[in-house]
Amino acid sequence: MASLLRRRREASESVAGTVSLYYASDVHGSEVCWRKFLGAGRFYGVDALIMGGDLTGKAVVPVTRAPTGSFSATLMREQRTGTTPEQLEKLLAAIRFNGMYPWVADEIEVARAHNDAAFRDDLFETVMLDELRRWISLADERMAEYGIDVFVMPGNDDPWICDDVLEAAAHVQACDGRIVRVGSHEMISCAYSNPTPWSSPRELDEDALYARLRDLTDGLEDPASAIFNLHVPPHASGLDTANEMNPDLTMRYVGGQPHPIPVGSTAVRQIIEEVQPLLALHGHIHESRGEVRIGRTLAINTGSEYNSGHIHGAVVSLEPDKVLRHQFVVG
Amino acid sequence: MSTDSEPTSPGSGLFARTATGLVRGVPPRSSLIINFIPGHPTQTMVAILLFALAVGAGGNPFLAILIVIPMSLSFSYAFGLLTQMIPRSGGDYMLVSRIMHPSIGWVSVFCMTTAGLLSNAFFGIAVMIVGIVPLCVAVGLIADWPGLVLWAQEASTSKAWLIFFGLSMFAFSGIIQLWGWRTLLRIQNIFFWMVTASIGIVTLVTLFQSNGHFEDRFNSFAQEFTDKPDAYQGTIAAAVKAGVAVDPSFSFSATIPMVAVFATTAIYSYWSTFVGGELRQASTIKTSNNMALGGVIPLIIVAICTAVFFKTFGGDFLRAANGGGLPAEIQTPGTTFFYLSGISVGSSLYTFVIFALYIVFWPLITYISTLQQTRAIFAMSFDGVLPKGVTRVNKNGCPWLALLIALLLASVIFIYAVYDQTGFFIVLAYAVLVQLIAMALVGLSGILAPRLRPELYRASASQKSFLGIPLVSIAGFGAVLTGIFIWWAYLHYDQLGANANIGKMLAWTVGPAVLGFVLYFVVAAIRKSQGVNVELAYREIPPE
């Protein structure tokens, strides 16, 4: 506690006009990562938290409950069983820890979910929204109390129904597609990505993505001191290397091995090169964590390993006209 | 669309929606090969088995191998279960610093890196001394090319040739990594199968030859050089005269140093931990099982090969040849089994092929060894304790600067080793001991992980127990015990060479550990003065 207070004090003693922020992205339904994201505010003594998108999980794990009260589920290809409420709680926590949604149901309902696509889609929507509401509610309650600004946008993987939950938040600021202020810096945010093999909900071709970004940057008063919070990283920047996929979502092999290629957005790269903001924050490509200078702009991809319970992030301190310091952290 | 969900395969037990996927580069098959290589049976047969027979006269190599198996499994499961919990690149550094404390992580990485650099230097020498030289001598003798034999004999004592071939191999193992995982894994797998084919061919050919056939071929081969009709029995007689026990009676106490010797190559099958962040299915039990298989399968193959070679060449003859009984005119340094197989077949082409297939082991093991140093440098840089510049990767995703640093350091130690070979081979024994410090710290992390990181443990596929005790703790305990045992053996048995100079031994083993511990706090203080608190990189954020 003493060290936390000390760090907070150190932060508040920083140079006037300096703002410190913690950025993370791609928590993909991991409750522990979301809670750590919120905890990062006080832990690192920052003024603002920025979540760069892809909030929702990718999988529902059915926990089949028998009439006797016993239950079973398969997690990480391991069979887990139990009989007591305490064991069930531990299992649900383990599922959430890995960024998946637990769903407790009887055998008949689980079988129906297996066979009925519409039922399964409804199930996904329900568990996703329930979880997101809980997350935002927690953030509203705690971060308002601590006086830490929280900026959240969805990512290309997040369904549109998430936007209503973010817009309805009290303290959390939904920032996608608008200009907000982080300290003295303007920040634009964009949840869209360029096309992916998965055809996720928020994708635009490069021309449309550029037009959208240009609309946003045209509204900036001081582009040189701005922060770009863009989910997809710039093309061929070293922040966007991923293995190539076939249209059928299988991995493309060349010579019997996976084929790494740059998959970032040319539109994002172009807008950064043209506007030269102070800082560009990215996620999307989990395995391409790193930093690069594009002209004067420091571009960062914090990557993600949400299913290990560790949140990858960056603590950045900004003066009005420069990045004072930045540090990758894993919490 | 992202909400278009689908039931996945029955084994996965979940419903997945279509969403952007995380793709890692190293498939389980390749990770199994990575784990297999440090204990590859070819290396054990070439460099370890005969040493084990020499230090444990009367010991039973099969019993020794049997005893080593649970030791190997302890390390495999300690590293594997922890890697499943923390599937990130960096190996022991990542595991120890995250489970215990960053300063202990620094102790571990300094010990592991010291051992890795010393090993690389050894590989630089080995490619010449037990690779190119015996190839040329064996082919030269069998094909009757005295010029080739003469060149090899001269080259084996030439520092210039040693340095040329050693540095060339370092350069080659670095260049193949610059091409990225795609090409690298292809080369790795080709080389792996070449080395495996070499031992496979030699073993199969030897299996179908009788002891009488070999004795006849050996005698007729040796007669050309010695003019003696029965060099086979002459070899045994010469060794007996020199005091070598060629047919000793069984002794369990003599088996113990053999265990220590086998353990020096058989307990490193955790190597894929260093690329944990690049493994596919790293969070599943496949990670541990691949490490276990990578340790146990080579030991089984070594046992089979040993039985076959003893049958055909004769145990007493092998001990005699290993004890210096071979006539001077037909001596080769090391690789005895390949040489004898060449004589037994009587074909220079066959001899060349099996040697050529085997020699690629040395660049292969050098590349595998550098994975530890490059990934540790990379992980430490991301933690903010090394300059960010070393994280530079080329367009193929290879951390080229970290690789260059690792190979330059290895080259410096290699050149020192060339100029001080006698002292260096004792230092090599220290490499085993210093590496065991790091491995025991990982074992200790395994013991403590369920207690210190309960959430992480419970949510992982490592949550397995035996009689109510977490498997990772049992494996960790076994790893610590094994580390203590091997240390004890090296201190107790003079013939293992490590206890001749205790002060020097402590400098090479405890020295890096102390240096790592102290340097952590020095670096932390320097970075703090620059406004960066490195402890933050290691600390877990308390969840709200």
Q: pLDDT digit string (tens) for A10-62?
A: 444 445 679 999 999 999 988 889 999 999 999 999 999 999 999 998 889 99
Q: pLDDT digit string (tens) for A70-109?
A: 999 988 777 889 999 999 998 998 888 877 889 999 999 9
| Residue-level length of chain B | 544
Residue A9: pLDDT band with limits 50, 70, 90: very low
**Mean pLDDT (whole number) for B397-406:** 83
A315 interaction partners in chain B (CB closer than 8 Å)? 536
Among A246-250, B36-40, B139-143, B267-271, the minimum mean pLDDT is found in A246-250
Mean pLDDT over the full length of chain B:
86
CB distance A157–B537 less than 8 Å?
no
Per-residue pLDDT at B353: 94
- SS3 for B58-79 is CCCHHHHHHHHHHHHHHHHHHH
Joined together, the tokens standing for residue A53 give 């998108």
Does residue B261 surpass a pLDDT of 50?
A: yes
Of B19, B384, B541, the CB nearest to A327: B384
Please give the model's pTM, rounded to 2 decimal places: 0.77
CB distance A257–B186 less than 8 Å?
yes
Per-residue pLDDT at A8: 45
Say yes or no: A12 contacts chain B, CB-CB below 8 A. Answer: no
Residue B457: pLDDT band with limits 50, 70, 90: confident
CB distance A32–B396 less than 8 Å?
no
Tell me the C-alpha distance between B133 and B334, whole Å. 9
Per-residue pLDDT at A48: 96
Helix, strand, coil in percent for chain A, rounding step 5:
35, 30, 35
Say yes or no: B502 contacts chain A, CB-CB below 8 A. Answer: no
Q: pLDDT digit string (tens) for A99-109?
A: 788 999 999 99
C-alpha distance from B166 to closest chain A C-alpha (Å): 29
* Chain centre to alpha carbon of residue B201: 22
Per-residue pLDDT at A207: 97
Per-residue pLDDT at A227: 97
CB distance B3–A284 less than 8 Å?
no
Give me the residue label for tokens 């299992």. Answer: A91
Per-residue pLDDT at A6: 43
**Mean pLDDT (whole number) for B446-464:** 87
Pick from A165-169, B41-45, B124-128, B227-231 the range whose average pLDDT is largest. A165-169
Per-residue pLDDT at B12: 52
Of B283, B459, B541, the CB nearest to A36: B541
Tell me the C-alpha distance between A192 and B370, whole Å. 40
Mean pLDDT over the full length of chain A:
88
Share of chain B above pLDDT 90, in %: 47
Tell me the C-alpha distance between B429 and B498, whole Å. 6
Residue B334: pLDDT band with limits 50, 70, 90: low
What secondary structure does DSSP assign to B477-544, as a single string?
HHHHHHHHHHHHHHHH-GGGSSSS-HHHHHHHHHHHHHHHHHHHHHHHHHHHHTT--THHHHPPPPP-
Per-residue pLDDT at B65: 94
| Residue-level length of chain A | 331
A227-230/A185-190 β-pairing: parallel
CA-nearest residue to B279 within chain A is: A287
Joined together, the tokens standing for residue B273 give 């931990």
Does residue B86 surpass a pLDDT of 60?
A: yes
Tell me the C-alpha distance between A41 and B526, whole Å. 25
Coil, helix or strand for B335? Answer: coil
B543 interaction partners in chain A (CB closer than 8 Å)? 32, 35-36, 38-39
Contact residues, B window 407-446, toward A, CB-based 8 Å cutoff: none
Among A292-296, A297-301, B451-455, the minimum mean pLDDT is found in B451-455
Of A35, A77, A290, the CB nearest to B544: A35
Does residue A218 surpass a pLDDT of 90?
A: yes
Query: Can you list the positions of beta strands (E) in B393-467?
Result: 465-466
Per-residue pLDDT at A255: 54
ipTM of predicted assembly, 2 dp = 0.77
Q: pLDDT digit string (tens) for A182-199?
A: 999 999 999 999 998 888
Does residue B19 surpass a pLDDT of 60?
A: no
Does residue B459 surpass a pLDDT of 80?
A: no
Q: How many CB atoms lie within 10 A of CB B307?
A: 14
Residues with Cβ within 8 Å of A316's Cβ and at least 6 positions away in sequence, in order, are A20, A21, A22, A23, A279, A300, A323, A325, A326, A327
Q: pLDDT digit string (tens) for B52-84?
A: 888 888 899 999 999 999 999 999 999 999 998
CA-nearest residue to A34 within chain B is: B543
Residue B13: pLDDT band with limits 50, 70, 90: low
Strand order in the sheet with A48-51: A173-174, A149-152, A48-51, A19-24, A312-319, A322-330
CB distance B18–A62 less than 8 Å?
no
Query: Among B22, B285, B535, which would you mutate to test the A interface (most chain A Cβ atoms within 10 Å of its Cβ)?
Result: B22
CA-nearest residue to A90 within chain B is: B458
Tell me the C-alpha distance between A186 and A223, whole Å. 8
Joined together, the tokens standing for residue B254 give 């003599």
C-alpha distance from B404 to closest chain A C-alpha (Å): 19
Per-residue pLDDT at B423: 65
**Of residues B265, B282, B286, the one with CA closest to residue B39:** B265
Per-residue pLDDT at B214: 95
B93 interaction partners in chain A (CB closer than 8 Å)? none
